[in-house]
Amino acid sequence: MTKKIKKNVIGTISVKEALKTFSNKSNENKELLERTNKIISFIDLIVQRRKALGLTQRDLASLTNIKQPMIARIEKRECMPRLDTLIRILDCLNLDIHLIEKGFNKK
């Protein structure tokens, strides 16, 4: 049985699956691949911060009241956290989200 992927709904599959699926050269897939790469970079920064603070996944789970297996799935890019979950994680890592206009900092 083939897994169906809804158009423009990247949240229905894992980040790893999205990379495999959208790596061809169509414009639509390029956009989805770009978004997926942004998510991966974001998750990587969260993992780096957790480690820099000397926290284990279990520590972060305890601080956020999110189960450790969910933290592991997020860090392995197997799922994308909901915004409220992401904010709980960022709060515990003493991080914040700031939105800036695209191209604002480009030189």
Percent of the chain exceeding pLDDT 70 equals 71
> For the whole prediction, is pTM greater than 0.75?
no
Distance CA 95, CA 98 (A): 10
Dihedral of the alpha carbons of 41, 47, 53, 54, in degrees to the nearest 10: -150
pLDDT number for residue 11: 44
Q: Which of 42, 53, 50, 54 is nearest to 15 (CA)?
A: 42
Q: What is the DSSP letter of 65?
A: T
Q: Which residues contact 18 (CB under 8 A, 6 or more apart)?
A: 10, 32, 33, 36
Residue 71 has pLDDT above 70, yes or no: yes
CATH 1.10.260.40 is the classification of domain 10-92: yes
User: Using a CB cutoff of 8 Å and minimum separation of 24, what contacts does 57-61 make?
Assistant: 60/89, 60/92, 60/93
State the chain's mean pLDDT as an integer.
81
pLDDT number for residue 91: 97
105 against 12, higher pLDDT: 105
pLDDT number for residue 53: 97
Per-residue tokens: 83: 């915004």
